[in-house]
Structure 1
């Protein structure tokens, strides 16, 4: 059964929520080809959901990391993303105004989405309202280790990303979280988000990879292409490989990704 609902422009902040949805309507095409769920992160999130049987996935996108052994309702403001979602219980709505009763779900999950919400604190409060347990996967912008792509080739974008990303303290505070688990990114991670290709630098040369990362896709080509051109030249000359020989020996790196758990 497909649940038909559209609350993406309702309530305060609706105009901004609509703008966020429109952005993913634009960059979401082909998303599933690059953003393939990684089983190691999937296992971590599934464990964070505990014994929950009913789950709401807020900011669900194309449905990555939704456990197959639970009853999942997907909430997403972008129609393009919902159209790529394989599930049957789908609601077009914003995180800030979830169209569900209090305590409607055993658990709520949100994966790399809180930073897109116009009002993160309100959205996280909604997660708490509709579920007894919450599992939120996010990135800590204050984490000291930065991806080389932003340190060396796109520093202005990296700086802007850190400023715009929801601080981890906001997430933990709004949820009254009891556990924060680190997730070091494996070198062969399959989900092409921000730091996924830290040991595969040639991947960032691919326009399809950049288009599936909101950090890069929402910037104009004039802000991205010069840095990518420098990366291409450094890969061709071997300069990148010499500078990052230590990375080529590592299995994973902690770039600040965290699973935040709250509730019971």
Structure 2
């Protein structure tokens, strides 16, 4: 019995076979610390919950270790990486090992298709988003605006390669075009954000000096290690000398910042 049948959802007819065996798992090394470093932030979760609206059934595509899976709804997770699946906590939603581009689910099986900071990892984002639309009546996607991210101090001052690399990735405008008509909502990042994505430590700069933190940020983990190490030495020197503080203020101050994250929701 498939997980979709277990939840009472209809499997695709005929059932689509997921060819995960042919997929290289980038999270074999990248994802090993996700459960510790990428803990869902309740304020971000609340925005996602609001976007889900009255949905009773949700498919979470690219579900990873289970961050931001809603409670009080019937949820099915879809995730290709066994490393990520192994980090899902007890009591998590049932999970199907499959890729976004080939979802083994029937048309309109779910009220909402959810994708959280994952579309940029898909091998064929156009097909993946088309599949998300096929299996769900509405879609909610957390992604980012590359123009804003490029202005983030870590990128602008230390690692501009991130902006260059992410210019070719499917970001907010791309997702919006594929899912239109949509509503785009700014997702402010709180000063004490618990989810360690790229800009989560915007006012905790010393966090980026921790290799464990960097290892769970794909934008950093995929750069040339020597280049990242040199950038971190400059960041450390700037913090010790006060140059960083002169440019960006006092680390640790409370507040929230727009560092480019956006929630794209299709209109009902």
The TM-score with structure 1 as length reference comes to: 0.90
Aligned pair 1:238/2:251, yes or no?
A: no
Structural RMSD (CA): 2.1
Deviation at 1:181, TM superposition (A): 0.5
* Cα shift readout 1:99-137 (whole Å, capped 9, x = no counterpart): 000011111100000111111111111111101111101
Aligned pair 1:65/2:68, yes or no?
A: yes
Match of 1:214 among 211, 215, 218: 218
Gaps of 5+ in 1: none
Gaps of 5+ in 2: 5-15
Match of 1:177 among 181, 184, 187: 181
Match of 2:18 among 7, 32, 36: 7
Equivalent residues, number? 255
Q: Which residue of 1 aligns with 2:158?
A: 153
Aligned pair 1:134/2:145, yes or no?
A: no
Q: Are the counterparts in 1 of residues 150 and 163 from structure 2 also a CA contact under 8 Å?
A: no
Ranges of 4+ aligned residues in structure 1 off by more than 4 Å? 246-250
Q: Are the counterparts in 2 of residues 3 and 88 from structure 1 also a CA contact under 8 Å?
A: no
Match of 1:116 among 97, 116, 121: 121
* Cα shift readout 1:134-160 (whole Å, capped 9, x = no counterpart): 110101113376211111111223322
| CA distance in 2 between partners of 1:216 and 1:113 (Å) | 15
Q: Which residue of 2 aligns with 1:39?
A: 42
Q: Are the counterparts in 1 of residues 142 and 262 from structure 2 also a CA contact under 8 Å?
A: yes
| CA distance in 2 between partners of 1:234 and 1:6 (Å) | 52
Q: Which moved more, 1:204-213 or 1:84-93?
A: 84-93
Deviation at 1:88, TM superposition (A): 4.4
Q: Which residue of 2 aligns with 1:28?
A: 31
Distance change (3 Å), C-alpha of 1:246 and 1:6: farther
